Amino acid sequence: MSAQQFTLSQRFFFDAAHTLHREIEAEGSRRIHGHTYHAEVAVRGPRDARTGMVIDLGVLRARLQALRTKLDHHLLDEVPGLGIPTLENLCLYIANALADMQPPPARVRIWRDALGDECELSLVD
């Protein structure tokens, strides 16, 4: 019998501004504007026999809080390593920032409730 795989996730939110050069909805996008972003990071793996956990959620929360500090109330255009502040790049930025965790992120999801936009990056099959 193979090891049972568990998926644990934690959510956080941040408020941030950005600009975006687009062909459609161009005028409003090119001006500095802001959103409330919601993010969810999921990790997947077997539970450790000694601790009973895949990951200590306190460790995951601390990592997400450190990441939130880099994004919350910032101009995303100026966040080092983010690139163009799209939902796709935000997912990738978060995944890369947490890649050294054990286990690493299996999924990163970003969404904006007010607009109904959502992006999900799956990192494992």
- With a cut of 80, say whether residue 8 has pLDDT above it: yes
Report domain extents, the chain: 6-122
Class of CATH domain 6-122: alpha beta
Identify the residue whose tokens are 């601390």: 62
pLDDT band at 37 (very low <50, low <70, confident <90, very high): very high
Residue 44 has a pLDDT of: 97
For residue 76, how many other CB atoms are within 10 A of its CB? 23
pTM of the model: 0.90
As a whole number, the mean pLDDT across the chain is: 92
d(CA 88, CA 96): 12
Percentage of residues in the chain having pLDDT higher than 70:
90
29 compared with 8, residue with greater pLDDT: 8
